[in-house]
Structure 1
Amino acid sequence: MLTFKQTIPNLKFQKAVKKPIPIKCIQIDEPFVVETLEGTMKGNKGDWLMVGVSGEMYPCDKEIFKKTYNLVK
């Protein structure tokens, strides 16, 4: 079994771009808790509650959201 730690291994990585699949999301103005597929997760004030393509819910840190998502009108 391979084990990867914090250092990126010297492998031939390929580049990939996430498919532009719209999902539901809402920014929450207070700390929250949500049951995810990986168990209970906490979101902080200003984080986003996301609903994935299969209806799964999960929190997304507000800074990660800003870097990886654009809101659709």
Structure 2
Amino acid sequence: MKARKKPVVIEAWEFTKKALERTDSWLRGQKREYLHLVSQYGGEVLYIEIDTLEGRMRADLGDFIIQGVNGEFYPCKPDIFHKTYEVIE
């Protein structure tokens, strides 16, 4: 059997220092128990740990944070994101 993913629109943002400044309030307003900002002394965010159905996963700078169809969050490496998703406006 062959199958094709159904087209589903998701929310996503690229984890960059600049994007984090713009989306920090959005991120902190989401399901905070699932998202953990890991920062160094002085407050600079180094990476984000995300509790997913598969366990805790790490999103590094340059990765995408995706909010799935059920409101869950998970990280996605840039190459996989660009192969899997088409950006819409």
Q: TM-score over 0.5 for the alignment? A: yes
TM-score (norm 2): 0.61
Alignment gaps of 5+ in structure 2: 18-46
Structure with bigger RCO (C-alpha 8 Å, 6+ apart) = 2
Which residue of the other structure, out of 66, 69, 75, is the alignment partner of 1:59?
Answer: 75
- 1:70 aligns with 86
Deviation at 1:32, TM superposition (A): 2.0
More helix by share: 2
1:17-72 Cα offsets, whole Å, 9 max, x none, are 11111011111016321111222100121110011111111001111001110011
Name the structure 1 match of 2:3. Answer: 16
Which of the pair is proportionally richer in strand? 2
Q: Which runs of 4+ in 1 moved over 3 A?
A: none
Matches within 5 A, 1:4-43: 14-29=1-16, 31-43=47-59
Of the two, which has the highest radius of gyration?
A: 1
Aligned length: 60
Q: Percent identity?
A: 42
